[in-house]
Amino acid sequence: MKMRLLKILGVLLLLILGVLIAVPFFLEAKIGDLIRNNANANMNATLDFSEANLSLIRSFPNAEVQMENVSLVNKAPFEGDTLFAARTVALEMGLMQLLKSGDTPIAVTRLSLDGARLQIVSNENGVANYDIAKEDTANAGQGPSSGTAEGFEFSLERYEITNAHISYDDLAGNMHLELTDMQHSGTGDLSMATSELDTETKALVSFEMDSVNYLNKNKVALDAVIGIDLEQGKYTFLQNEALINQLPLVFDGFVQLTETGQEVDVTFKTPSSDFKNFLAVIPEAYAKNLDQVTTTGNFMVNGFFRGTVDEQHIPKFNINISSENASFKYPELPKAVSQVFMDVLIGNDTGLAESTYVNINKLSFAIDADRFSLTSKITELLGNTKVSADLKGNMNLANIARAYPVPKDMQLEGMLKADVSTAFDMAAIEAEAYDRTRTSGTLALNDFAYRSQDFAQPIALKTTRVSFNPTTVTLQELQGTTGQTDFNVKGTIDNFLGYLFNDEKVRGNFTLASNTFALNDFMVANGEPTDTGDADAPGAATADEIKIPAFLDAEFNATANTVIYDNIALKDVKGQLKIQDETARLTNMTSSLFNGRVAFAGEVSTKAKVPTFAMALDMKELQIAETFKALELFNVLAPVAQVLQGTLNSELALSGKLTKDFTPELSSLSGDVLAQLLTKDIAPENAPVLSALDNKLGFLDLKELDLKDLTTKLSFKDGVVAVKPFTINYKDIAIKVAGGHTFDQKLDYTATIDVPAKYLGKEVGQLIAQMKDGSLADLTIPVTASIGGLYSSPEVSTDLASGVKTLTTQLVEIQKQRLMDKGTAKAKDLLGDLFNKGGGTAQTDSTGSASPLKKEVQGVLGGLLGNDPKTDTVAKRDSVPAEREAVKKAAKNILGGLLGRKRDTAKAQKDTVN
């Protein structure tokens, strides 16, 4: 029986579990559409989400709908702006709510938001982007609605918001409020007309108004029990305690909604008067271990907010901050801060925002014999702000770190003396009517030393004197050092108040004098490193780019005996520097460098994400070896020039991008160079490309190249250098060079050389000597050397061998032609003599044998034709073969003519032959 009962229960449980698992598959789409359609039908905005999941198990016995990637996007006048977004939004309701008829709203009892972002904006016309509810025309004139909407009603018993970010921008009032890392929860029965809501809130608060930052991620915490009366729209603070940083405040009162706004009546105060309350206001990083601090005196904050909040009014309020002869001392520090007096009142007596005021009736403290005091009155804080203030003090800055726990990386030294009074209104500053302001007094800082990670080197100011007058701030003297750098600056700032209070750029004129000015002393990034754990990943531990300050609009006349940049030392530097719009422009700059003179002008800009520069240089008589050794740019433009000894004149125009440490990014450079070399000495063995060329062209001694007054022009872009053809002279040889190379020293050059025949080796020289013609020594052949490969391992090829072969063939042809001409002439002379002796007739003796003339002819012809055994010896044939062949050919031609083959010979010769 028991077993049967267990089986039945098991079947029922499985059936219930199956239903719980299966039902969501049928209802999810319905629930998702119901939420989306209901919201979009009642709002002038578009609600959407990637998916809606219904679970009957996760929150059993309740049901939960969880929406992923939720967004609520505005329509006009904030078209396309995202008002609300969240990673997840979860709604919880009773399981039976899902089985209600379609006309009955589903009651939501729990709401959860995670990763929510709420961006509230009120534009210049006072229109708010959260005003998205459609007007209820059906209930117009029937009083407020019931609070239910078709499909859903909120009867919350608990809600929670985690990891939220809320921002509020009032463009008309120039205010910005931001809550980050917000964690908030509340419990209570909001379905009832009256209830109590128990809330917990933690967040970081930032608040800015008129470009003045009043709170910057200050930690706040609030535990509040709020009485809720939904019928009257009244919310009463019952049990409440807040923490601002570590300052506790208790408050009570109420906020009540009205048809036009709210009525507010809230009072607050510190629960005790211990001076530690003041230290608690300071951010935790600067006020640690408060329990260990010894204090005397008091510190109190109290006040109220009362009145109406609507489009024209804010509550009247009064905030009193006071302390009377207080002191504090940290146990680990040697000195105490004493005689602390504070009497500060922040208030508004009219309910009009522009009437807000701040009265600093007294604010003073002392460290040993040093005293500092400030009094000020600020009226019409949110209107035409009017300020009057007096600042006086004598302070040994080193005592600050001896009495207060400043950050470890910040160390101060020096004596500060200040006596400054000012009075102005913002309307005058905004109009730049500085003659309507009144500022006077002096400020002096001597033997000041400051160390911080924000600077590459500690800064030491020996003397600083500043005087104030209504229109300008005069920097009478600023002498100091940092690292290797010393400086003496004087000048004026024309709009100091405009810079302080109106977000204007600093405008001024300065003179800067220095014995040694090392630029690397100022090369510090303007951002903090970030560590992602992957050095190669984007955003890994790298510093931000160096930026030219955007707030500067100043001119400097500078002189320096030595300016050091990386490993380069510029001497006797003079010129003008203008900084404006994140761009530094140099004009009329002159300097000595490598025993020569340099004039340059140009600009550097950090306005874009990648800094850029453009520059023109005119260099005279720079030492070539030192220049090319020290300047990487010159080395990549003409690497072979580093082996030259002498001086260089050059005009250089270039532009490109800069790296993070303000050195040129070589691959981005483009420009032109006109260079004139004044040199006689060269060391080819120190340049692989010259050594390779020397080995291929043995007739050249590169050390004897004539480079005097050599002028060449080259251009470069995208890492490629193109050289305009130029000519180098070597003795009586002209060498024409053309081509180019890349910044990574890949070579592509040709050298064309017109080589006189006398330089082409022993065999060619002997051949010319045999010809006994001095003019042939001036005969030249073109030889082309192709230079490729890398500068460190060049590949050189020439057509010298083929040129020599061609020249040899030409010389042999010339010799043959000369011998032929010589043989023809000799044969003619011999035959002419022969026939002249015979009188032009055949001669025979009485026996019929040849006459003496015929024997002579036979002897001559036999010698010419090689048939004379007396003369046709092997030795003679071998000694003059070319001459013999030439004479033979000439003789045959002549004889052919004589024997009638030449029809234009004299008739007498024909008769004689016949």
* Neighbouring-strand partners of residue 674: 651, 713
Domain boundary among 770, 798, 826: 798
Q: Contact at 8 Å (CB) between 175 and 127?
A: no
3-class DSSP state of 262 = strand
**How far is the C-alpha of 284 from the C-alpha of 286, rounded, in Å?**
5
Give the distance, in angstroms, between the CA of residue 99 and the centroid of all CA atoms in the same chain. 62
Q: 316 in a domain, yes or no?
A: yes
Quote the CA–CA distance of 707 and 700 in Å, as a whole number: 14
The more confidently predicted of residues 15 and 331 is: 331
Residue-wise pLDDT for 332-360, tens only, equals 889 999 999 999 999 999 999 889 999 99
Least confident of 19-23, 228-232, 429-433: 19-23
pLDDT at 379: 92
Q: Residue 639: phi, psi to the nearest 5?
A: -60, -30
Tokens of 640: 């072979």
214 DSSP 8-state letter = E
Q: How far apart are the first and last CA of the chain?
A: 162
Query: Can you tell me the mean pLDDT for 22-32?
Result: 55
CA 351 to chain CA mean position, Å: 49
**What is the predicted pLDDT for the residue at 888?**
54
Q: Is residue 383 domain-resident?
A: yes
The answer on 732 and 698 residing in a single domain is yes
Same domain, 293 and 357: yes
Same domain, 585 and 638: yes
Q: Which two tokens stand for residue 696?
A: 């291929």
Contact (Cβ atoms closer than 8 angstroms) between residue 86 and residue 70:
yes
Alpha-carbon dihedral 552, 554, 559, 564, rounded to 10 degrees: 20
| Under 8 Å between Cβ of 712 and 736 | no
Total number of domains constituting the chain = 6
Q: Please tell me the distance from the alpha carbon of residue 376 to that of residue 425, in angstroms, as a whole number.
A: 13
Partners of 615 in the β-ladder:
602, 654
What range does the domain containing 491 cover? 407-504
Phi, psi of 695 (to 5 degrees): -70, -35
pLDDT of residue 288: 60
What is the reported pLDDT for 58? Answer: 65
pLDDT at res. 56? 66
Same-domain status, 587 and 668? yes
User: What is d(CA 756, CA 690) in angstroms, rounded to the nearest whole number?
Assistant: 21
533: in domain: no
Reported as half-sphere exposure (CB side, CA atoms, 13 A), residue 464 has a value of 18
pLDDT band at residue 146 using 50, 70 and 90 as cut-offs: very low
Query: Does residue 806 belong to any structural domain of this protein?
Result: no
Q: What is the dihedral of CA 817, 820, 825, 828, to 10 degrees?
A: -150
Q: Name beta bridge partners: 89.
A: 67, 113
Q: How many Cα atoms within 13 Å fall on the side-chain side of residue 864?
A: 23
pLDDT (mean) for 496-503: 76
Secondary structure (DSSP) of 732-760: TEEEEEEEEEETT-BEEEEEEEEEEGGGS
What would the mean pLDDT of 302-309 be, rounded to a whole number? 92
**Mean pLDDT score, 168-180:** 85
Closest alpha carbon to 580 in 511, 518, 509? 509
Please give the pLDDT value at position 784: 86
Residue 357: the pLDDT is: 93
| Greatest Cα pair distance in the chain | 175
Burial of 147 (0-12, 13-18, 19+ CB in 10 A): exposed
- Cβ atoms of 868 and 888 within 8 Å: the answer is no
**DSSP 3-state percent helix, strand, coil across the chain (nearest 5):** 25, 50, 25
The one-letter amino acid at 914: N
| Predicted pLDDT of residue 695 | 76
List residues bridging with 366 in a β-sheet.
Answer: 338, 371
Q: Is residue 527 within 8 Å of 543, Cβ to Cβ?
A: yes
- Round to whole Å and give the CA distance between 300 and 274: 8
The answer on pLDDT for 706 being more than 70 is yes
Exposed e or buried b per residue across 341-379, where buried means at least 16 C-beta atoms within 10 angstroms of its C-beta? bbbbebbbeebebebbbbebeebbbbbeebebeebbebb
**What's the pLDDT at 843?**
46
Structural domain contains residue 656: yes
What value, to the nearest 5°, has the Cα angle with vertex 563 and ends 562 and 569? 80
pLDDT interval class at 175 (50, 70, 90): confident
Per the model's pLDDT, the better-predicted residue between 469 and 134 turns out to be 469
Say which residues have a Cβ less than 8 Å from residue 686's Cβ, sequence separation at least 6. 642, 643
Share of the chain above pLDDT 70, in %: 74
696 or 743, greater pLDDT: 743
Name the residue among 613, 670, 681, 673 with its Cα closest to residue 647: 681
The reply to whether 208 and 89 lie within a common domain is yes
* 339 shares a domain with 485: no
Q: Residue 19, exposed/middle/buried by CB under 10 A (0-12, 13-18, 19+)?
A: exposed
List the Cα angle 751/752/755 in 5-degree steps: 125
Running DSSP on this structure, what letter comes out for residue 211? T
What is the mean predicted confidence (pLDDT) over 356-383?
A: 92
Q: What is the mean pLDDT of the chain?
A: 77
The first and second tokens of residue 355, run together, are 């009437």
Higher pLDDT, 52 or 774: 52
Model confidence at 309, pLDDT cuts 50, 70, 90, reads confident
| Ordered DSSP codes for 562-624 | EEEETTEEEEEEEEEEEEETTEEEEEEEEEEETTEEEEEEEEEE-SSSS-EEEEEEEEEEEEH
Give the pLDDT of residue 14: 45
- Residue 187's H or E segment, with its range, is strand 175-187
- Find the range with the poorest average confidence among 273-277, 401-405, 460-464: 273-277
179 CB neighbour count, 10 Å cutoff: 20
* DSSP code at position 180: E
Which pLDDT value is given to residue 905?
41
For 323, the 3-state DSSP assignment is strand
pLDDT for the residue 444: 93
Same domain (yes/no): 615, 651:
yes
Q: Are 39 and 186 members of one domain?
A: yes
> Cα-flanking dihedrals φ and ψ of residue 149, to 5°?
-125, 155
In this prediction, residue 824 carries a pLDDT of 66
137 within some domain: no
* 756 plus 860 within the same structural domain: no
Average pLDDT over residues 864-881: 46
The two three-digit tokens of residue 687, written as one number: 């340049």
pLDDT value, residue 545: 54
10 Å Cβ neighbour count for 622? 24
| Domain membership flag for residue 277 | yes
Q: Is the pLDDT of residue 111 over 60?
A: yes
Q: Do 833 and 759 sit in the same domain of this protein?
A: no
Is 706 inside any structural domain? yes
Name the most confidently modeled range: 179-183, 495-499, 752-756: 179-183
Which pLDDT value is given to residue 59? 64
Q: Does one domain contain both 699 and 650?
A: no
- Using CA atoms, how far apart are residues 827 and 646, in angstroms rounded to an integer? 65
Q: Which residues contact 237 (CB under 8 A, 6 or more apart)?
A: 224, 225, 226, 227, 251, 252, 253, 254, 266
Asked if residue 772 and residue 628 are part of one domain, the reply reads no
Tell whether the model's pLDDT for residue 640 goes beyond 80.
Answer: no
Per-residue pLDDT, 451? 72
Mean pLDDT of 630-649: 78
Residues 681, 708 contacting (CB under 8 angstroms): no
Give the Cβ contact number of residue 25 at 10 Å: 9
Q: Are 605 and 585 in contact (CB under 8 A)?
A: no
User: Which tokens belong to 839?
Assistant: 């009188």
DSSP codes joined into one string, 348-376: ESSS-GGG-EEEEEEEEEEETTEEEEEEE
Contacts 24+ apart (CB under 8 A), 759-763: 759/699, 759/733, 760/699, 760/803, 760/804, 760/807, 761/804, 763/808
User: Cα dihedral sign for 796, 799, 805, 811?
Assistant: negative
Measured between alpha carbons, how far is residue 814 from residues 221, 598, 807 in Å?
Answer: 110, 59, 11
Taking 60 as the threshold, does the pLDDT of residue 423 lie above it? Answer: yes
pLDDT at position 533 over 50: no
Final residue before a domain boundary, out of 764, 798, 832? 798
